[in-house]
Structure 1
């Protein structure tokens, strides 16, 4: 076994984890930052899996003081193949691009067992992740291909059983299960009852609470159910997370980036590192070595830009724009009785903006940049910052796929705080 690779075992007190339904790796990133090492990430989406591979390459190169190669890739100076020619296969194989089902689980288990054997890992410390939340989210279902399927018949409702299969096989000391608040009330509460019953049946004590990302110094109001479990008979427990609100405002996340016109890309900083906000520096969202990537805006049409300007003006007056009150020539939807707030400004002057959603992949009407001079929807990089992804986090895929990965993610700063509390217990 190489001594220069990322170590995937309990060496020198280091803890490991398996990430299920990993997406782009928001939860993983928090556990990485807290000092955990990955055994495997399991993700069905190909673009998100490539993002996970690229992030694994980043951590490998960082460990070996070779980040210049990574920054060359970010700048477009070398290809992805050239980058990965420097990355050992045993780092990349930790990303398993597969859909989880009863048919595929044996093969996924075999891949993970091989990793455990090769790296001489005897115990899995933590399993993290959460099945796709759209089955329990009214907004998510309205925007998905399952919108015509009754909630009780949505096949995604059963994905939690895949999660419990992993708990049964690998018996981690603790687990973290994340999902939308709608999980509590889905199917009249039966979905949550079934989930918790399964988790307890496979040998775990559990507790759950609704957590708001804003209480973890994230500049975003994002409420999620965090279930934490621990093996029966141990003295572990649900951590008491200290609620810490940042004194920064949302503009502190945005105003060091170069202005961008609709449909354009401007991968540059407007302010130097010394000039950027303390919030960016203190939380390592931007470092001195970073380069800007994904600072690309969608090509909003003239009608939308006109509405965006009206929405920004209303926000600056302390008001919100209502779709039914727009001039008739700007309306394109017959429905004027619901979703009246379909145009919404990211609250630049506030301590937290509204929830970043995967719907960003469809349009940017709900995420208008607060700067009247730019008058556009936010860029991929701006969305990533609202989610607290560091600037050196590179997303793979099309612009829409990047937006979707970001919107579905757990903010890494929130994930790190959870990971650090779990680490205290396990060590």
Structure 2
């Protein structure tokens, strides 16, 4: 079944659908770093199909550059990534590019989630006008224009829970009405990634819609799968201190076993982006205290409980959980794009390592496979990871859709 991925980011949604055998025809994304990641992922899949994965491995080992990697890939594969903001000015041009990729094929499913900042709790709290005038409130209208243009059987629309209550619920009611006018029925659930085997508690609204002439019901996702815990998820990764990195072949501590094999293929032996950001001495002392408090008292350490010489923020009355540890023996709290700014909310649970999460650890928590490479920089990689839909969650949603369609 043919898929178009809108507002694609690094491609977490399309990664899951692809792993379930769907054919991704196009990704539309405006961020240049994410687009480079999508192109590199397309290169990975193409080379894997051609039994030429050694070229991809040479790239990861920095034996060849990105331009040389891309020379190995047909232009029609790389052109599946359409680097463009979706707007009134650009949308017809995007349609033309997709039409060129389609040929005689039709679009079966459209997936994607418009930018969520206008609906997110963090976004609303930072904006003096509570995001009421933010144009991103209405990006769903572009999504509907794609539905009208390509008339797919199904669509998957992902977003934060705030979309249900934005502007007193009027945004969501308008979305439902617009979908009905476009000829689509829909249903939604608030689903948690941890119930799909992802090592993270991450609640998101998943809207599934179907063309009115297409017989379909919202799948039953009630049979939850226990997620792998953080201890097991990190078990094969080498230890790091703040500012260190360990990459390349022969770096893994053990063979992937059990649920870890969904993240790292048994035969995969190139570790990338196991990079920990550097920290100043003040933060490292705080990290130690945060882990100590959890290990000894089974609770988080509040900012106003720190020794006075470690308190550097004027505000010690609110945001008291600004330093937070990822717990070893359960799943992580939600990974968000702010991890690209600092790692204070994602402190590693091993006090001896005394650091925040590496890029690869954050990617694993989001269920990206270890052969997935994020382009351009550590900061760009963290941002792409934080904004993504967990591929493992997407994969299991795609599996349920497929089962119902073929039944």
Normalised by the size of structure 2, how large is the TM-score?
A: 0.96
Q: CA deviation at 1:243?
A: 2.9
The 2-side partners of 1:284 and 1:98 are apart by 30
Q: CA deviation at 1:285?
A: 2.9
Match of 2:41 in 1: 55
8 Å CA contact retained: 2:198, 2:228: no
8 Å CA contact retained: 1:17, 1:126: yes
The 1-side partners of 2:78 and 2:252 are apart by 35
The 1-side partners of 2:315 and 2:199 are apart by 32
Deviation string, structure 1 residues 189-231 (Cα, Å, up to 9, x no partner): 1111111111121010000000000110111100000000000
Deviation string, structure 1 residues 268-291 (Cα, Å, up to 9, x no partner): 634121xx442212x143432231
Match of 1:278 in 2: 258
Say yes or no: does 1:297 pair with 2:276.
Answer: yes
The 2-side partners of 1:407 and 1:248 are apart by 19
Name the SS for the 2:118 alignment partner: helix
Say yes or no: does 1:380 pair with 2:363.
Answer: no
Match of 1:170 in 2: 150
Name the SS for the 1:161 alignment partner: helix
Moved more, 152-161 or 239-248: 239-248
Match of 1:136 in 2: 119
Query: Number of matched residues?
Result: 403
Distance 1:357 1:298, change over 3 A: same
Say yes or no: does 1:70 pair with 2:52.
Answer: no
Q: CA deviation at 1:259?
A: 1.1
The 2-side partners of 1:21 and 1:425 are apart by 26
Say yes or no: does 1:331 pair with 2:311.
Answer: yes
User: Following TM superposition, where does structure 1 have runs of at least 4 consecutive aligned residues deviating by more than 6 angstroms?
Assistant: none
Q: CA deviation at 1:293?
A: 0.4
In structure 1, stretches of 5+ residues that fail to align are: 1-14
Deviation string, structure 1 residues 70-117 (Cα, Å, up to 9, x no partner): 111111111111111110000010000000001100100000011112
Q: CA deviation at 1:330?
A: 0.6
Moved more, 197-206 or 220-229: 197-206
Match of 2:109 in 1: 126
In structure 2, stretches of 5+ residues that fail to align are: none
8 Å CA contact retained: 1:290, 1:391: no
Over the aligned positions, Cα root-mean-square deviation in angstroms equals: 1.3
Name the SS for the 2:275 alignment partner: coil
Match of 1:225 in 2: 205
Name the SS for the 1:208 alignment partner: strand
Give the 5 Å matches for 1:289-368: 289-317=268-296, 318-350=298-330, 352-368=331-347
Match of 1:94 in 2: 80
Distance 1:247 1:213, change over 3 A: closer
8 Å CA contact retained: 1:20, 1:128: yes
Q: CA deviation at 1:336?
A: 1.4
The 2-side partners of 1:284 and 1:403 are apart by 17
Name the SS for the 1:207 alignment partner: strand
Say yes or no: does 1:22 pair with 2:8.
Answer: yes
Name the SS for the 1:320 alignment partner: coil
Say yes or no: does 1:192 pair with 2:152.
Answer: no
The 1-side partners of 2:393 and 2:178 are apart by 26
Say yes or no: does 1:417 pair with 2:399.
Answer: no
Match of 2:379 in 1: 400
Say yes or no: does 1:390 pair with 2:369.
Answer: yes
Q: CA deviation at 1:375?
A: 0.6
